[in-house]
């Protein structure tokens, strides 16, 4: 488990789920921005899987690892914000009460965490929440960051979150692809053509810090 702590007494905890690669250290810019905003960051390291052949058990383990990380860390008096990228965003949504379903109509049993007070999701994978009522138990405010060049989890899929009885705020970043939210890209992936990746990450870090305290995103 990867833990980062602020220099001062923390205002809360951000529990962060990485994408399919399972390595939270690849998101250091985002994680550092959360710490800079005064939050402890807890980010479990998970086993890598191929999204094309992922099993129900592998998906369930992503949610369970977030739940276990919070339990192991303790400090139950601190507020919890669940965040994540791609399938890590999916896991964070499950933790807040989302009920995922398989393509053949089977409910995927996942744990929840009542301490979650906000969701901050980056290009989340949402296809498992298309069943009626799948998001009916998600009441916590949701902030989503999506990219116009994302072909893995297109920005339009974030509209599914409108089914949740929660405040939803979606920010769409121009010329940003699915993996551009990562500081360290996968070995075979390059930044989106025409995107200044470092500049985008600096901008994203500013938004991410603000997300922890304000639901109104700047335009």
* pLDDT tens, position by position, 36-51: 999 999 999 999 998 8
Mean pLDDT of 82-89: 98
The token duo for 23 is 């390595």
Average pLDDT over residues 47-61: 91
Taking CB atoms within 8 Å and a gap of at least 24, the contacts of 130-134 are 130/101, 130/160, 131/99, 131/101, 131/105, 133/99, 134/98, 134/99, 134/100, 134/101, 134/163
The mean pLDDT of 166-179, rounded to a whole number, is 97
Could you tell me which residues are beta bridge partners of residue 144?
A: 121, 170
pLDDT at 214: 60
Model confidence pLDDT, tens digit, residues 91-120: 999 999 999 999 888 999 999 999 999 999
**pLDDT exceeds cutoff 50 at 218:** no
Tokens of 46: 């998970």
Decide which of 76 and 68 is more confident: 68
Q: Where are the domains of the chain?
A: 2-211
Q: Alpha helix locations (H) across the chain?
A: 28-36, 56-73, 87-95, 197-211
Which pLDDT score is estimated for 215?
A: 46
**H-helix or E-strand containing 143?**
strand 142-147
Helix axes 87-95, 56-73, angle to 10 degrees: 60
**What does the radius of gyration of the chain's CA atoms come to, in whole angstroms?**
16
pTM of the model: 0.94
Residue 89: phi and psi, rounded to 5, are: -70, -40
Q: What's the confidence (pLDDT) of residue 69?
A: 95
Structure tokens at 105: 């109509």
pLDDT band at 1 (very low <50, low <70, confident <90, very high): confident
Find the mean pLDDT for residues 130-148.
96
Which one is the CATH code of 2-211: 3.40.50.720, 3.40.50.300, 3.40.50.1820, 3.90.79.10?
Answer: 3.40.50.1820
- The whole-number pLDDT of residue 219 equals 36
pLDDT exceeds 60 at position 30: yes
User: Kind of pairing, strands 2-4 and 39-43?
Assistant: antiparallel
Q: Is 55 exposed, middle or buried (0-12, 13-18, 19+ CB in 10 A)?
A: exposed
């Amino acid at each position: 488990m990867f833990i980062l702590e602020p220099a001062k007494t923390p205002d809360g905890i951000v529990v962060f789920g990485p994408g399919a690669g399972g390595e939270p250290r690849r998101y250091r810019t985002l994680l550092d921005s959360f710490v800079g905003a005064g939050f402890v960051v807890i980010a479990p390291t998970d086993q890598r899987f191929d999204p094309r052949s992922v099993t129900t058990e592998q998906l369930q383990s992503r949610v369970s690892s977030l739940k276990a990380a919070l339990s192991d860390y303790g400090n139950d008096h601190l507020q919890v914000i669940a965040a994540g990228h791609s399938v890590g965003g999916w896991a964070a949504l499950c933790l807040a009460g989302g009920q995922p379903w398989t393509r053949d109509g089977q409910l995927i049993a996942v744990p929840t965490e009542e301490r979650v007070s906000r969701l901050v999701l980056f290009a989340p994978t949402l296809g498992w929440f298309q069943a009626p009522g799948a998001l009916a138990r998600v009441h916590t405010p949701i902030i989503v960051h999506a990219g116009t060049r994302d072909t893995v989890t297109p920005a339009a899929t974030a509209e599914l979150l409108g089914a949740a009885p929660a405040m939803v705020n979606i920010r769409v970043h121009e010329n940003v692809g699915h993996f551009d939210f990562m500081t360290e890209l996968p070995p075979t992936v390059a930044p989106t053509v025409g995107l200044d990746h470092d500049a985008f990450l600096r901008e994203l870090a500013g938004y991410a810090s603000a997300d922890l305290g304000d639901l109104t995103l700047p335009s």
